[in-house]
């Protein structure tokens, strides 16, 4: 308890799913948490949970597709707490469709949120972290991208592969400025509202059935994801540069 006392952590897409459990994990470790999302009711619910965990926090409505929103999100963080130490760029979307049915609008929808949004976030987060004298960024990627594919997710996979390349390149740009940039490729984490749960709903698969798809024999627990996020944001992980950490219960290994 208290590993992030005094630190300020920003989590995008924190209204539900992986973003919500990540925000709560930071809260339990003493961080002051910025809950950022386009979904204000969901974001306020997360903020209430953050405060119930005993942490200070702030909800900021921000659309990561809009650079002015992202810039304002970071500015509000600094206005409230004076600095930004950790950022988890988690906001993401998926619309399932085979490529012959995918529209240009649908493809742009993925690019604008999943890829352009991460670009905007890192740009403005790093500008502030340089003023701080350092920080840590974790981008939420996916095994569906540069590691593997999944039918019906061509646009999603393309953007997540882009996030992987963006992560590695930006990590090298700021490695000597005491800023670490890494990504997580998670699959099958039990956090309702995330992309994997949306896929389960599309396929009409229960959590028990989904668990049997993984070599470990179950879905992942929320704290099995958040423990990795917190580690990558900690001072102990500063020698980890541009890494894509897979958390998938053995899916890729099989």
| Alpha helix stretches (DSSP H) within the chain | 17-28, 40-52, 67-81, 104-110, 116-132, 154-174, 195-203, 207-211, 222-233
Task: Give which of 133, 178, 27, 39 is closest to 88, Cα–Cα.
Answer: 27
Structure-token match 């990504």, residue found: 183
Number of domains in the chain: 1
Split at pLDDT 50, 70, 90, the class of 2 is confident
pLDDT in tens, 51-79: 999 999 999 999 999 999 999 999 999 99
The yes-or-no verdict on residue 193 having pLDDT over 80 is no
Measure the CA–CA gap between 214 and 173, rounded to whole angstroms: 36
Structure tokens at 125: 């987060």
Asked if residue 251 belongs to a domain, the reply is: no
Give the pTM.
Answer: 0.95
Q: Quick check: 73 and 89 in contact, CB under 8 A?
A: no
Give me the pLDDT at residue 18, please: 95
Is 184 in contact with 247 (CB distance < 8 Å)? yes
Position 1 scores a pLDDT of 57
Q: Which of 68, 16, 18, 8 is nearest to 37 (CA)?
A: 16
Q: Which residues are designated catalytic? A: 156
Q: Is residue 2 part of a domain?
A: no
Residue 158 forms part of a structural domain: yes
Lowest mean pLDDT among 9-23, 33-47, 82-96, 196-210: 196-210
DSSP-derived letter for residue 153 is B
Give the rounded percent of residues in the chain with a pLDDT score beyond 90: 86
Contacts of 25 by beta carbon, 8 Å cutoff, 6+ apart: 222, 223, 226, 227, 229, 230
Q: Judge whether 3 lies within some domain.
A: no
Question: Does residue 1 lie in a domain region?
Answer: no
32 domain residue, yes or no: yes
> What would the DSSP string read from start to end of 160-174?
HHHHHHHHHHHHHHH
Q: Which domain holds residue 93?
A: 8-246
The CATH number of the domain holding residue 183 is 3.40.50.720
Token representation of residue 168: 């590695």
**Domain contains 254:** no
As a whole number, mean pLDDT of residues 6-28 equals: 97
Q: How far is CA 129 from CA 181, 222, 224, 227, in A?
A: 12, 27, 27, 22
């Amino acid at each position: 308890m208290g590993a992030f006392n005094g630190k300020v952590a920003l989590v995008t897409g924190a209204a539900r799913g992986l973003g919500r459990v990540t925000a709560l994990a930071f809260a339990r470790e003493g961080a002051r948490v910025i809950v950022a999302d386009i979904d204000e009711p969901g974001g306020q619910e997360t903020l209430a949970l953050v405060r119930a965990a005993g942490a200070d926090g702030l909800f900021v409505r921000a659309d990561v597709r809009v650079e002015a929103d992202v810039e304002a999100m970071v500015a509000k963080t600094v206005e409230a707490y004076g600095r930004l130490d950790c950022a988890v760029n988690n906001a993401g979307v998926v619309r399932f469709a085979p490529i012959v049915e995918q529209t240009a609008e649908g493809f742009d929808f993925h690019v604008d949120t999943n890829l352009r949004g991460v670009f905007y976030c890192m740009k403005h987060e790093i500008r502030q972290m340089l003023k701080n004298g350092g920080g840590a960024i974790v981008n939420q990627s996916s095994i569906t991208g540069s590691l593997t594919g999944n039918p019906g997710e061509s646009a999603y996979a393309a953007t997540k592969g882009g996030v992987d390349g963006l992560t590695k390149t930006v990590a090298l740009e700021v490695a000597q400025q005491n800023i670490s940039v890494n990504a997580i490729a998670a699959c099958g984490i039990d956090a309702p509202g995330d992309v994997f749960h949306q896929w389960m709903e599309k396929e009409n698969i229960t959590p028990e059935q989904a668990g049997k798809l993984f070599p470990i024999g179950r879905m992942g627990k929320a704290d099995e994801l958040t423990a990795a996020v917190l580690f990558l944001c900690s001072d102990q992980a500063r020698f980890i540069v541009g890494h894509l950490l897979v958390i998938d219960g053995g899916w890729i290994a099989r």
